[in-house]
Amino acid sequence: LPILVHLFLYFQKAAPTAQPTFLLVGPSGGGKTALLTLAERKTVIPTHTSTAPLAIEAVLPEDFTPSTAHYRSPGDPSYERARRFLLLDTPGHGKLRHFATTQLTNPTNVRGIIFVVDAASVAEEAGLNEAAEYLHDVLLALQKRYTGATTSKGPKEIPVLIAANKLDLFTALPPHLVKLSLEKAISEVRKSRAKGLKDSGVALGGEDDGLDEEREWLGEGGEGAFEFRQMEEVGTGVTVMGGNVLGGDGTDVKGWWEWVAEHL
Ligand code: GDP
């Protein structure tokens, strides 16, 4: 379990100006390892792999330009440097999940979070609920990070990409339905969590109860439906994009790399 702690401490120590990092999260089986392997082929200097098996140094494929490198020319060393980033895998199941969400509130140089989800598994209730619970916790951790910030400026934005993977499967939901299904399921998670808080007796405490409940409520107040759009108020843009890491006709992760380029 403490491997993630070591990993983060390692990066903090070894890299005072930490490399831009993207976290890979999501339920087990979504395709995180497959994506990591794909990105690793583009690796130029795999310096971190021996010490940190969960992190790889990736290089943005040629066809994409990092937002910070638009005015530099190819061949310029700073242009090449600007294409590098770390991809940090987090285990998708069990107690480690909680661990990953805790880390989200204390990132070194996290530019974004990639939530990989199997678009076929969210077509079914069990898969959808698992993904929604996980995503709810990730988003709530980001919201708390934002609302709990002590500086008046607020912390730097951490956007989330929901990578709807396995679109090569004919049972996969199209991305817009992945989005709607997750929003609906997260609305339910939000409701049952709020009820759980009440029932567990948190409400017996004192005058802070309202506050506590508010802090645990994802997105805007009120009973309405949850929408990803609500996360913009707390510094997190959420984008849903489809793709497939594997599949008969090969790989299609263009949209995801574009998103990475935009936030690199
Ligand atoms: P992780 O648990 O999130 O790391 O998921 P893995 O990367 O281990 O992938 C789980 C399974 O899904 C593996 O058998 C992969 O081969 C398969 N898989 C990953 N990406 C795709 C995809 O785009 N299409 C299809 N059809 N299968 C995929």
Residue spans per domain, the chain: 3-243
CB count, 10 Å around CB of 84? 18
Give all strands of the β-sheet with 110-118 in edge-to-edge order: 55-59, 84-89, 21-25, 110-118, 160-165, 238-242
The H or E element that residue 160 is part of is: strand 160-165
pLDDT single digits (tens) 96-119: 555 555 566 555 688 999 999 999
Looking at 3.90.870.10, 3.40.50.300, 3.40.30.10, 2.60.40.10, the CATH number of the domain 3-243 comes to: 3.40.50.300
Quick one: average pLDDT of 29-37?
88
Do 142 and 236 contact (CB within 8 A), yes or no? yes
**Structure tokens belonging to residue 183:** 């929003």
pLDDT classification of 188: cutoffs 50, 70, 90: very high
Does the pLDDT at position 245 exceed 80?
yes
Residue type at position 73:
S
- Nearest atom, ligand 1, residue 243 CA: 23
Cα–Cα distance, 176 to 162 (Å, whole number): 11
Provide φ and ψ at 129, rounded to 5°: -65, -40
Which two structure tokens, joined as six digits, stand for 14? 């070894």
Candidates 24, 25, 33, 253: which one to mutate for ligand 1, based on the most atoms within 8 Å of Cβ? 33
**pLDDT range class, residue 49, cuts 50, 70, 90:** very low
pLDDT: which is higher, 240 or 79: 240
Query: Cβ(168) to ligand 1 under 6 A?
Result: yes
Question: Cα of 186 to ligand 1 centre, how many Å?
Answer: 24
* For residue 61, pLDDT beyond 60: yes
Q: What is the pTM of this model?
A: 0.85
pLDDT band per the 50, 70, 90 thresholds, residue 208: low
Contact 172, 119 (CB under 8 A): yes
Best mutation site among 25, 88, 135, 244 for ligand 1, i.e. most ligand atoms within 8 A of its Cβ?
Answer: 244
DSSP 87: E
Cβ of 169 less than 6 Å from ligand 1: yes
* 165 CB within 6 A, ligand 1: yes
What radius of gyration do the chain's Cα atoms show? 19
Which pLDDT band, with edges at 50, 70 and 90, does 155 fall under? Answer: confident
Categorize the per-residue pLDDT at 44 as very low, low, confident or very high, splitting at 50, 70 and 90: very low
Q: For residue 68, report the distance from its CA to the centre of ligand 1, in Å.
A: 31
Amino acid letter at 169? L
d(CA 27, CA 147): 26
Q: Is the pLDDT of residue 154 over 50?
A: yes
pLDDT at 173: 98
- 239 vs 45, higher pLDDT: 239
Average predicted confidence (pLDDT) for the chain: 80
Q: How far apart are CA 112 and CA 262, in angstroms?
A: 10
- Asked if residue 92 has its Cβ within 6 Å of ligand 1, the reply is yes
| Residue 58 exposed, middle or buried by CB count within 10 Å (0-12, 13-18, 19+) | buried
Q: Which two tokens stand for residue 194?
A: 């709020």
